[in-house]
Structure 1
Amino acid sequence: MRRTLIACSLSALALLAMGAVVPALGQAADDPAGAKTVRMARATWDTGWFQAEVYRLLLMRLGYRVEGPVTMENPDFYRAVAAGDVDLWVNGWFPTHDGLIEEDFVERVGTQVDAGALQGYFVDAATAAAHGITNLGDLADPEVAALFDLDADGRADLIGCETGWTCSHIIEHQLEAFGLDATVEQVQGDYSPLIAETIARFEAGQAVLYYTWTPNWTVGELVPGRDVVWLETPFPSLPPDQSAFLDQTSIPGIPGCANDPCLVGWPPNDIRAVANSRFLEANPAVRRLLEQVVIPLGDISEQNAHMVRDQGDPEDIRRHAEEWVARNSGVASAWIEAADPAAIALDSKADGGSAAEGGVLRVAART
């Protein structure tokens, strides 16, 4: 079961705004540099906006004018990139997003983070210790589920994913597969305020139950193994389109888990760029750039921590990206050189939008 508190999508409006100024695939934009244009999107979770901004800056150094990035829900992006209405984003999670890919029109390119994106279910350590909770399946007991019942309907309230995120469907699948429909419901809405409320309840000494992922600032606020317990699942179960990854859902070295390896129920994900195939064919230098870029997981986590410490405004995210590129100027220059030795960089102030400008629709505040 699921309970949706807030549901909104600005993607269609964003594409309309974007389409009014964006040229066709591979076509040179009307700007003084005569540069080609990349129409860039980004996901609704702002823990991925830093990476999107880094790529935007690199594309500018490659000599491309960047329109966006425009914030889009997962299904909207994958439909749009397949149709050629947008060129790329760098927020693909695989295998989680495998079912959204139209293989004939869209390609995964490069690997920004290799198998470093983890997901799972968490409860506060105090409640887990007091009631012996180590497994999501423990919530089949109505008395245990009642500990996390926020709306007095007799079921535990699991703070889950936004409705447009693929993880929301996986959570629903797992609740049904584990026989938890009668005792647990997924609470959906804008993840940012929901998880902020969860942290506030934890700080007030109340029981909490939620889903989250890494890299994400949440695991720095509620630290697994100290503040919260990382729950195992009763057995591996994924939707049919991800059944090939069932043997990857048990992961060693998970902090705060009762067992090692820990059956977290989710396979590790690669974070990858996703782009329209025709666009890549027309812009081989962009392909070569995307194939090379790697952003260390620790750097992403560090930036996410800055975001939660009152540095999450668009201007802050852009500054974080600029500082990262400056600190890694040697490797960044090597990526550009390998992608196109003749590239002439554009001024980063001259593009069509960024995290600090009006070309972006801000949807999630601290996701």
Structure 2
Amino acid sequence: MLKQRKAMKTGVLLFFAAIMMAALAACGTTTEVIKEVPVEKIVEKEVIKEVPVDKIVEVVKEVPVEVPVEVVKEVIVEKEVVKEVIKEVVVEPTPAPKDTLVFAGLDWTSAQVQNGVARYIVENGYGYPTEAIDGSTVPLFQGLIAHDIDITMEIWLPNQEAIWSKALKDGQVVAAGKSLEDNWQSTFVVPTYMVERNPGLVSVSDIAEFKDLWVEPDSGGKAVLIGCIAGWSCRAVNEEQIASYGLEDVVELRDPGTQAGLFASLEGAYLKGDPWLGYLWGPTKPSNELDLTLLEEPAADGCANPGEGCAFPPAEVLIAVNTDLIAEAPEVIAFLRNWDWNGVNQLMAEGWYSENKDDFDDPFEATGIYFLKNSEAWTEWVPDDVEANVKASLAAVASP
């Protein structure tokens, strides 16, 4: 169709060009000759033929489309993980209550004060209940052999040598440690002022000459000698020595009844400057505070028994337990083996006791608490856990 349109435009142009040339010729002087020339007339017809055509219409339609948005979420997922754990648990049976440990309540200060300290440690440090049976040396040692007594804080040798050696040999007792420092003791002690006033009063052999110094109205003309307490092992030694020295007709041996009675007798005479003759040992409060003299006796060296007529040898003082305790309370035996009741500890505790005993229902327990609160010496005798237990208990107790 486009080619047909171009051909038609070309024919029209040629036709108009011929008319213009004819007009120009008429206006001139020359004769216009019109010559008809046959011209081929090209008539172009535009034929429009309607042909049914499928009409494609592009329609743009806005359709809302949901554009997916990528959302990143941090999700914390908790998972309960169940693990099956098999543990082998050894269940120990509930420990049985500990047995009560029985102390010998010997009737003199040093032993009772040691009991006060030791019992507090055993009860509050090791967890054993304790009690004491009061009495004198001989019956309480029989109780130790019979296992009615568990612990005796003072066994005096050689005073108890014979019975001690037999019980040791028979396997009834065992030494658990050292008690006091080695002590001295004598049946024939006088205040030094008596020796100074009476030159020649030097030995036991001089007692007969000076007996009138100690005669009392009810002594039948004999010198009164305040001896060891009845029931103590030293009492028998007093009697044997008096006999061995030939003084039975010269001396009357009297029983002071208690340690307190013995000390009071000496201290009362000393304060007044009166004569006094009797048994004593040391270190004790009187022996440390008073000026005393031991009358001379044959030496203990080579003398098996002072009752045979010689001086007491230095006293070795032991702690003893019955053999059942080895299995029942070995940790307590270990504690007693570490015990060290030296002169410093002894005099510190006994000095406080002497000054404060009348203020307490149980002065020995109070003395034990006083000593434990005011000395660190005992911490060397026990392991750390026991020390902690004792100190925790002391913290809850008012200072005596």
| Normalised TM-score (structure 2) | 0.65
Equivalent residue runs for 1:265-284 within 5 Å: 265-284=311-330
Q: Following the alignment from structure 1 to structure 2, what is the Cα–Cα distance between the partners of residues 187 and 342?
A: 45
Q: Please name the residue that 1:110 is paired with.
A: 177
Is the CA contact 2:213–2:223 (under 8 Å) kept in the aligned structure 1? yes
One of 246, 250, 263 as aligned partner of 1:183: 250
Distance 1:59 1:328, change over 3 A: same
Q: Following the alignment from structure 1 to structure 2, what is the Cα–Cα distance between the partners of residues 153 and 239?
A: 33
Q: Please name the residue that 2:20 is paired with.
A: none
Q: Please name the residue that 1:91 is paired with.
A: 154
Equivalent residue runs for 1:195-344 within 5 Å: 195-221=263-289, 223-224=290-291, 228-236=292-300, 265-311=311-357, 313-329=360-376, 332-337=378-383
- Structure with the larger strand share: 1
Is the CA contact 1:38–1:64 (under 8 Å) kept in the aligned structure 2? no
Distance apart, 1:236 and its partner CA: 4.0
Distance 1:37 1:146, change over 3 A: same
Distance 1:342 1:43, change over 3 A: closer
Q: Please name the residue that 1:125 is paired with.
A: 192
Distance apart, 1:182 and its partner CA: 1.4
Question: Which of structure 1's runs of 4+ aligned residues deviate more than 6 A?
Answer: 340-349
Distance 1:220 1:234, change over 3 A: same
In structure 2, what residue type is equivalent to 1:200?
Answer: G
Is the CA contact 1:147–1:156 (under 8 Å) kept in the aligned structure 2? yes
Distance apart, 1:125 and its partner CA: 2.5
In structure 2, what residue type is equivalent to 1:137?
Answer: S
Give the structure with higher Rg (CA): 2
Q: Please name the residue that 1:56 is paired with.
A: 119
Q: Following the alignment from structure 2 to structure 1, what is the Cα–Cα distance between the partners of residues 386 and 344?
A: 30
Distance apart, 1:347 and its partner CA: 8.3
Q: Please name the residue that 1:149 is paired with.
A: 215
One of 45, 50, 53 as aligned partner of 2:108: 45
Q: Please name the residue that 1:5 is paired with.
A: none
Q: Following the alignment from structure 1 to structure 2, what is the Cα–Cα distance between the partners of residues 286 and 304?
A: 24
Deviation digits for residues 90-142 of structure 1 (CA, Å, limit 9, x no counterpart):
12222322223211201121112232x1112221233222222121221132x
Using the aligned pairs only, state the percent identity: 20
Q: Following the alignment from structure 1 to structure 2, what is the Cα–Cα distance between the partners of residues 175 and 216?
A: 24
In structure 2, what residue type is equivalent to 1:97?
Answer: Q
Q: Aligned with 2:382: secondary structure?
A: helix
Distance apart, 1:175 and its partner CA: 1.0
Deviation digits for residues 308-331 of structure 1 (CA, Å, limit 9, x no counterpart):
3343545443233223223444x5
One of 174, 179, 185 as aligned partner of 2:241: 174
| Normalised TM-score (structure 1) | 0.70
Distance apart, 1:161 and its partner CA: 0.8
Q: Following the alignment from structure 1 to structure 2, what is the Cα–Cα distance between the partners of residues 118 and 314?
A: 32
Q: Indicate whether 1:139 and 2:207 are aligned.
A: yes
Greater RCO, CA 8 A, separation 6+ = 1
Q: Following the alignment from structure 1 to structure 2, what is the Cα–Cα distance between the partners of residues 237 and 187?
A: 28
Structure 2, unmatched stretches of 5+, are 1-94, 395-399
Distance 1:346 1:87, change over 3 A: farther
Q: Following the alignment from structure 2 to structure 1, what is the Cα–Cα distance between the partners of residues 306 and 242?
A: 16
One of 128, 131, 134 as aligned partner of 1:71: 134
In structure 1, what residue type is equivalent to 2:133?
Answer: V
